[in-house]
Structure 1
Amino acid sequence: MSKRMAILALGIWTGLAAVAHSQEAKDKPRAEAGKKPSMILSEIESRPDFARLDSLSWNDKGYYEIEYRTTDKARVQINIDATTGMAVDQD
């Protein structure tokens, strides 16, 4: 293979890889597309048995993973869909 053909092949491969990566990034749910974390947390804090937040993190599957404690010291783990604000089952 000539040097010119090798460079052309490398350029095509690089371009295809960039397009595939770009498409993958578009398909992945983003936290910015849904409710803000502060809105989600406000709804959790308004629960009558809420005592304190242990953690809130984003999952690339499109939901917030939340762990909190209740007034009777029980640990609650819940996943909230970022777009609907509804609880979802963990995959």
Structure 2
Amino acid sequence: MEELLVMLIAGILSGCLVYVNSLLNDLVPIDFHAEKYMDTLLGTNGFTEVFNIFLCFGISLIVLKFLKKGFEQYILWTEGDADADTLIFLTVF
């Protein structure tokens, strides 16, 4: 009886091995290139537009942070040394 159960389980597992292997092979491109997979699935190119929006927003925040730090250092004199070299301000930013 045990041998019959072992053979049944081995047969089921060996039959499922090919299917699971194909699922895992397709899983890696989906994980690492999710935006391409979703674009082809939806039929639109919406994720590149969202990426461009976030990129512009991120660059705007970096520029705003730079201007805020410069204003606090050179106008308000509350942060850093206003008499220091400007190159230090650019590199420490």
Higher helix share: 2
TM-score range, shorter chain: 0.3 to 0.5
Bigger Rg over Cα: 2
Give the TM-score normalised by structure 2: 0.32
Higher strand share: 1
Say which structure, 1 or 2, has more relative contact order (CA 8 Å, 6+ apart). 1
Q: Give the TM-score, by structure 1 length.
A: 0.33
